[in-house]
Amino acid sequence: MDRDALSDFLMRHRGALRPADVGLSEGARRRTSGLRREEVASLASMSTDYYARLEQRRGPQPSTQMLASLARALRLTLDERDYLFRVAGHSAPARASDSGHVAPALLRVLDRLADTPAMILSALDEVLVQNDAARALFGDASGLTGFARSGIHRWFVDPDRERALYPLEDHERHGRSRVAALRAAYGTMGAESRAGELVRELSRRSEEFAAMWEAHEVSTRFEDRKTFVHPAVGRIEVDCQALLTEDQTQALLVITADPRSADAEKLALLTVLGTQDLAPSES
């Protein structure tokens, strides 16, 4: 671990970011143009004291999970992320498409979307980042780990909970679309990737999945129009728009409703209500 290089790198990139770059307000008494330590710590879900010690060259060696959070908070590119890992004494993560690193360009757009549900998804339908409005609609996905992070996995392994947000008549179509999206990811990543592991896991645990997998349907999962059934506000019809990275391994999904419609009012109400334990888990 190169403490000097790590400290200099963190301070330089913290100073280069403006609050607006990460969706924060400038504030009235800001003495520097860059982010404050406490702002980076909050974005990375760590204590301010822990982050301060890293910059002060006296902190413990950060874990790979901490470094991944810092890379996301500081909006690092893949090259910058790899450098961060190495100066912190770790090997850089493999640059597989399922590495979990969030594309900075998508993050910059997400930071500017506060009043409508939006989230960044991996090719395996894992929520990488979601805004407050998305948490209110879908539930907070931050506590999910392993294959449970994948909405495809939860659809077939935990159907009673995962499918509650969708009308019963849409379940088969949504199931097929999830399997078709996994088939596309499998073709891109290969049999030995996490996509391949997920296929084997679901084939073992779900006869429904195994039957749909044999259909060999291939497509991206995003649809223009969807219906949700939320426990707090009832049925909501929305439009879904996806912005994909160039390699199509990540997507920013934005949920909107027709202006001045009852559905738009319901989305606005959810944003006010927040999560409040009213919504099921993210899908």
| CATH classification at residue 27 | 1.10.260.40
- Any domain includes 9: yes
Is 118 found in the same domain as 35?
Answer: no
Output the pLDDT for position 280: 43
The last residue of a domain, from among 61, 87, 113: 87
Residue 282's closest CA among 119, 108, 44, 102?
A: 119
Is 121 found in the same domain as 39?
Answer: no
The last residue of a domain, from among 54, 87, 120: 87
Output the pLDDT for position 122: 92
- Any domain includes 175: no
Is 57 found in the same domain as 112?
Answer: no
- Any domain includes 190: no
Tally of domains within the chain: 2
Is 239 found in the same domain as 149?
Answer: yes
Output the pLDDT for position 114: 84
Output the pLDDT for position 276: 55
- Any domain includes 264: yes
State residue 201 phi and psi, 5-degree precision. -65, -45
Is 58 found in the same domain as 28?
Answer: yes
Output the pLDDT for position 155: 97
Is 79 found in the same domain as 156?
Answer: no
- Any domain includes 150: yes
- Any domain includes 280: no
Whichever domain contains 139, its CATH number is: 3.30.450
Structural domain span for residue 232? 104-169+220-273
Is 113 found in the same domain as 71?
Answer: no
Q: Are 117 and 134 in contact (CB under 8 A)?
A: yes
pTM of the model: 0.72
Return the number of other C-beta atoms located less than 10 Å from residue 13's C-beta: 20
Output the pLDDT for position 221: 65
Output the pLDDT for position 222: 67
Is 76 found in the same domain as 19?
Answer: yes
Contacts of 222 (CB under 8 A, 6+ apart): 240, 241, 242, 251, 253
| pLDDT < 70 regions, the chain | 27-28, 95-100, 221-223, 275-283
Is 27 found in the same domain as 76?
Answer: yes
Is 247 found in the same domain as 109?
Answer: yes
Sequence letter at residue 241:
Q
Is 253 found in the same domain as 118?
Answer: yes
- Any domain includes 208: no
Is 82 found in the same domain as 32?
Answer: yes
CA-to-CA dists, residue 138 to 60, 65, 117, 146, angstroms:
36, 24, 9, 19
Output the pLDDT for position 99: 57
Q: Are 119 and 253 in contact (CB under 8 A)?
A: yes
Q: Are 226 and 240 in contact (CB under 8 A)?
A: yes
The last residue of a domain, from among 87, 113, 137: 87
